[in-house]
Chains A and B, each alone.
Chain A
């Protein structure tokens, strides 16, 4: 028998409200604000699978985000194809990196794994920044200057619904994963890897699987981001702040929960955009300061709350 929790009801109500927002307002500001929120909610959910459920804190998820974005560029510039093909190309490029990074997690203790993942996007960033693409003799593009991506003929409304649908799909995926055999294996790996091993769980396989699902979702988000903004550069998609945006929603909302990343993103990112709009574009750094503050206080408040509660 299935129990229905309060969070399920809240989620259903929120879904209905968000789904009907376009009936009330057609402002493209609201659409872009919500698009950003959904983008980071999707990435947060992806990160939740690897960090929240499997316990592998990869701080370099900007790597998969950036590779997804550069998949679109490769499809457009090298193969001359539709950006949508780039979405799959991006996922394809991510696969070797999935194996490399989850391979690191087999060998390294948790802290050292976190350190190693932190530098991966930086290496790829420098390599891509060095690579320039020349269509003819005198026109050289790419490198640190970045690429212009052909925008699909989609309206902000369509982007809004595409992203919204993807977020819901990712939540349903995690909901199923949580109750599945593999999901239980993931949680066992997170809580006590030695015990999981002794029970015959191939934890390496489980880590790779979790990293794979997580990387694919992040890569899709990166591709859609590239198509949406129409311009990407190594500094914009492999940046430290991208990794931080990915983890922010999940940590604020609650790691290892189905709806946590979604709720967290829904609280944090619209607030950022509103504050950004209020102070004006001059203070780019204000968003970073706020996200640092949120990250820290969300963790400390939760820690204090848990320490006082009898159910520890």
Chain B
């Protein structure tokens, strides 16, 4: 059996932060706007391909491509969620499912048409450089993605809990009619959530290239990762997203050390099913959307 070193444990922690950022999108959409975006996985890898194109074709560093990725991610998310808007406010869950599955297929197809089935990855100058933290030596890319994952999470957490807009979001999540009486338009809050989600997704998608590449079938991994992160504590909770990301990344490490590299993907999927069976609404029960479609 393989026993991970301190460096690996720290790197797993840093990957967990990025996983939290990846799952934040689905968590916010589900927790605040009460909408499930089933296309999130394929949209996410579409963004990854986009930033790969910017970084490799312009010949710039992956980190410099991050702002471009974010700028492109906002219109993409906006188009998808604009189409879904009537379904969101009628709380038509099956409608949201069918429409986002349609988008999911469209993005999947676009990836094949534009980039083809091959794996895309990037190397930057510091891919191999390391940094010393006391006794342990960790790789620089891990440190970058860890920090870049946790800083937006903290910012979004403050946005949601401390600012007026965040309180308006929470109020909308609890009661749409009542917030409308107080002069807050739920549509505007919905768009605000979409923009936050788009920025988070664009950031995570561009950052991930400092670590590993992407292939067209990866979408299903990212969507189930996002679902785990959403379900693990409470949909819409940012701390929950961080905890979820960390749990997934340590579960992956555990499965990897027990069974070997091939089973890494299985960890997320099995964890997800167990999580759903143990508790449908996350460990803390959420307000709002009930399990059933008919309800």
Q: Which residues of A are at the interface with B, using a C-beta cutoff of 8 A?
A: 57, 59, 104, 107-112, 114-116, 118-120, 122-123, 126-127, 129-130, 191-193, 235, 239-241, 244, 247, 251, 283-297, 299-300, 303
Contacts and interface: CB of A to CB of B under 8 A. Distances in A.
B112 A284 contact: yes
A292 B263 contact: no
Given A115-B276, A122-B265, 16 more contacts: A108-B291, A111-B289, A112-B280, A120-B273, A127-B266, A129-B262, A241-B108, A247-B101, A285-B109, A285-B114, A290-B109, A291-B105, A293-B102, A296-B98, A296-B103, A299-B99
A57 B103 contact: no
Contacts of A284: 112-113, 117
9 contacts: A111-B291, A114-B97, A115-B227, A116-B272, A122-B221, A126-B263, A127-B266, A193-B292, A295-B102
A39 to B, nearest CB: 18
A213 B104 CA distance: 28
B272 A119 contact: yes
A162 to B, nearest CB: 29
A110 B98 contact: no
A244 B273 contact: no
Given A57-B97, A244-B105, A295-B98, A285 B290 contact: no
Contacts of A292: 101-109
Interface centre among B95, B263, B289, B294 (most CB of A within 10 A): B294
B58 interface: no
Contacts of B188: none
9 closest Cβ contacts across the A-B interface?
Answer: A109-B291, A285-B112, A292-B105, A296-B102, A288-B109, A289-B109, A292-B106, A285-B113, A285-B109
Given A112-B276, A115-B227, A287-B109, A240 B97 contact: no
A116 B93 CA distance: 16
Contact of A110 (B92, B99, B273, B293): B293
A237 to B, nearest CB: 13
A116 B271 CA distance: 11
Contact of A285 (B95, B111, B265, B266): B111
Nearest to B108: A288
Contacts of A111: 36, 93, 289, 291-293
A296 B292 CA distance: 22
Contact of B217 (A57, A235, A251): A235
Contacts of A108: 276-277, 280, 291
Most chain B beta-carbon contacts within 10 A, residue among A107, A120, A122: A122
In this complex, which of B105, B266, B269, B294 has the most chain A Cβ atoms within 10 angstroms of its Cβ?
B105
Contacts of A247: 101
Given A110-B291, A303-B95, A295 B273 contact: no
Interface of B: 36, 83, 92-95, 97-99, 101-114, 117, 217, 219-221, 223-224, 227, 262-263, 265-266, 269-270, 272-273, 276-277, 280, 289-295
Determine which residue in A191, A192, A240 has the highest number of CB atoms from chain B within 10 A of its CB, and name it.
A240
Contact of B292 (A110, A123, A126): A110
A192 B93 contact: no
A48 to B, nearest CB: 15
Contacts of B103: 292, 296
B273 A289 contact: no
Contacts of A192: 294
A119 B224 contact: yes
Contacts of B263: 126, 130
Given A115-B227, A122-B265, A126-B265, A289 B272 contact: no
A126 B104 contact: no
Contact of B112 (A123, A191, A288): A288
Contacts of A129: 262
A104 B94 contact: no
Q: Which of B101, B112, B117 has the most CB of A within 10 A?
A: B101
B292 A109 contact: yes
A297 to B, nearest CB: 8
A123 B106 contact: no
B273 A296 contact: no
B210 to A, nearest CB: 26
B109 A286 contact: yes
Contact of B106 (A57, A118, A127, A293): A293
A123 B290 contact: no
